[in-house]
Structures are given as structure tokens and as C-alpha cells.
Amino acid sequence: MSENITRLSLAEAIEGDRTDWDRIASLSDQAIDASIAADPDCFAVTAKPDRAIARYVVFKDEAKRWRWQLIDSNGSVLAQSGSSYRTEPEAKDAVALARAAMTNAHAA
């Protein structure tokens, strides 16, 4: 069964409930996942904030070199480039690398 679905305790069936709990209890996790995938009324729920939580900003520093910063919705700098870049595309490539690294990072 996927991590998005949990089984209810079969002992907690609501009075008057017409659910076939014996049939459901007999289904394998794969059968449940397949049934959910085939149901057009089922969809994955993901948290989507109304606005971005943070944004990347690419800018020129005082030395006319390109840098990036990750800024949260309050304007605080969460992360910044450790070095400068000769061109804006190089800085944007560095942002892409930083995003990929943060996406795949694990807490220590």
C-alpha cells in the first residue's frame, strides 16, 4: 500500500456503514494501489502554497561579477553563491546545480 494511504482499524467500523470490510481486508496492498490508480476520482494530494516560499535571485555584485541568492518570502537570505561567475548564464547554471543538490540533499 502506498505511503499516502492508511488502513482503518476494522474494529472501528461505523454503525450503518455499507462498506464491505471483509473484502477490503482481503485485498493485497498491490490490489488496493491498482484500484486507486484506476479510479478517476482519486488523485495525489500535494502541498502547494499560494505563493512561492523562496526564490532565486541572480545579480551583479560590486565587482561586476554574477552571483545568486536564495531569498525567502520575508526577504531573508537562505543561501548564496560561494563564488562569482563571469556571465549571467553561468550564474543561472549554478542556480540549477544548487537546486538539484538541495532537492537531493538529506538532513545530517
Kindly state whether residues 4 and 41 are assigned to the same domain: yes
For residue 2, tell me if it sits in a domain: yes
Q: Pull the grid cell for residue 101.
A: 543538490
Can you tell me the mean pLDDT for 79-97?
A: 93
For residue 108, tell me if it sits in a domain: no
Kindly state whether residues 16 and 37 are assigned to the same domain: yes
User: Could you tell me if 68 and 81 are in contact, meaning their C-beta atoms sit under 8 angstroms apart?
Assistant: yes
Please tell me the least confidently modeled range out of 6-10, 36-40, 73-77.
6-10
Kindly state whether residues 58 and 37 are assigned to the same domain: no
48: left (phi over 0), alpha (psi -120 to 50) or beta: beta
Q: For residue 2, what pLDDT is reported?
A: 44
Q: For residue 36, what pLDDT is reported?
A: 72
pTM of this structure: 0.51
Q: For residue 87, what pLDDT is reported?
A: 94
Kindly state whether residues 67 and 91 are assigned to the same domain: yes
Distance CA 43, CA 41 (A): 7
Domain span at residue 1? 1-46
Kindly state whether residues 35 and 5 are assigned to the same domain: yes
Kindly state whether residues 33 and 60 are assigned to the same domain: no
pLDDT tens-place string over residues 43-76: 555 556 566 678 899 999 999 999 999 988 888 9
